Amino acid sequence: MRIYVHVREKVIALECGDGTQDVIWLGNAAMVHYDSSFGRKYGSPKCIQKEGGITCDPDARVCDLLDDNQHVFAVLDTDDDDENEATP
């Protein structure tokens, strides 16, 4: 099973095996890849969302909630700050 996690402008493909990991694992694993690419530490995401902004239960299993090759979005605490800074 493969899930594509969007972290800001980057898309990270994660191999999930049979998908028995918790959804929060997707966010944490994606952040490891994202942080190493940019040399910064953002910590764990605030939540994982499906397309359409539907927030995923962080304790649900990936295989029970998502489909193979599905795209999800890691929302970071700092994303709110960035939006506020961009607003005049």
| Per-residue pLDDT, 35 | 65
Considering its fold, how many domains does the chain have in total? 1
| Per-residue pLDDT, 85 | 37
* 3-state SS track over the chain: CEEEEEECCEEEEEECCCCCCEHHHHHHHHHHHHHHHHCCCCCCCCEEEECCCCECCCCCEHHHHCCCCEEEEEECHHHHHHHHHHCC
| Per-residue pLDDT, 33 | 82
Residues in the chain where the model's pLDDT stays below 50: 82-88
Instruction: Please report, for the domain that includes residue 36, its CATH number.
Output: 3.10.20.90
| Per-residue pLDDT, 32 | 87
| Per-residue pLDDT, 82 | 47
| Per-residue pLDDT, 86 | 38
Q: For residue 12, what are the domain limits?
A: 2-86
| Per-residue pLDDT, 79 | 64
